[in-house]
Structure 1
């Protein structure tokens, strides 16, 4: 049974392992530790005996939630865990007064694009070279208040 909860300092090694197995250029452990302190309760983990996924967000201003990263262990993908982690992050953003959430995603990451679109995100821009030379990212936005469009 997978449980979603606040991340803790003792989770970081396992979070880093999920990160390493999920991304070509993973965040260093020190950056994940910094996000743990910066994000507060906007850093959540999914546990099934061990950490099998995580999501981290930050507040920008008083009304914007920024999804910094989302990753799920390869053997747990496709079962809705990413959707659950993002759903929890959205609820927490909403409780903090965010009116929308945004994120960056690689233009060629079809699986992530499909997940984000299924949750109501839509593309609003492009960041050229965001992930390095020739590796561009879409900026995607989700309205957290159920309105059409974003302020």
Structure 2
């Protein structure tokens, strides 16, 4: 059984391991640690027993928008609903903090992540050129936290 809880410093080594397994250009350990203090109850981990199997970091900007800074699930635990649980929990916390919508950036070539976000209610709004480096673009995807869209 997977539980979602606030991240702690004790979780950082496992979070960093997931980060390096998940991204071509991972965040440095120091930045992941800094977010423990910056994200204020918006840095969550998914745990199976005591093992961290996924994490999500969010921040509230301008008092009304939630930004998903990073989300990752350990590769062998993917496609089990853990990412969706993390996403749902952060969106609820965004709403409790007054956010009207949630947004994130995703590499335009990361088709599995784009599909995951679309399945969870995110819509592609525009392209942010060179977001991940030269010729590495991102889609900015947005989800309104108060209205459900009909397909």
Q: How big is the alpha-carbon RMSD for the aligned residues of Structure 1 and Structure 2?
A: 0.9
Alignment of 1:1-80 (within 5 A): 1-48=1-48, 49-80=50-81
Question: 1:90 Cα shift?
Answer: 0.3
- Give the match's secondary structure for 1:24: coil
In the other structure, the counterpart of 2:94 is 93
Distance in 1 separating the partners of 2:109 and 2:81: 21
With normalisation by structure 1, the TM-score equals 0.95
Task: For residues 21-64 of structure 1, give each alpha carbon's deviation from its aligned partner in whole angstroms, at most 9, with x where no partner exists.
Answer: 10111000000011110001100000113111000000001110
Q: Which runs of 4 or more aligned residues in structure 1 lie more than 2 Å from their structure 2 counterparts after TM superposition?
A: none
Number of aligned residues:
148
Distance in 1 separating the partners of 2:14 and 2:56: 13
With normalisation by structure 2, the TM-score equals 0.95
Structure 1: gaps spanning 5 or more residues: none
Within the alignment, does 1:141 sit opposite 2:149 as a pair? no
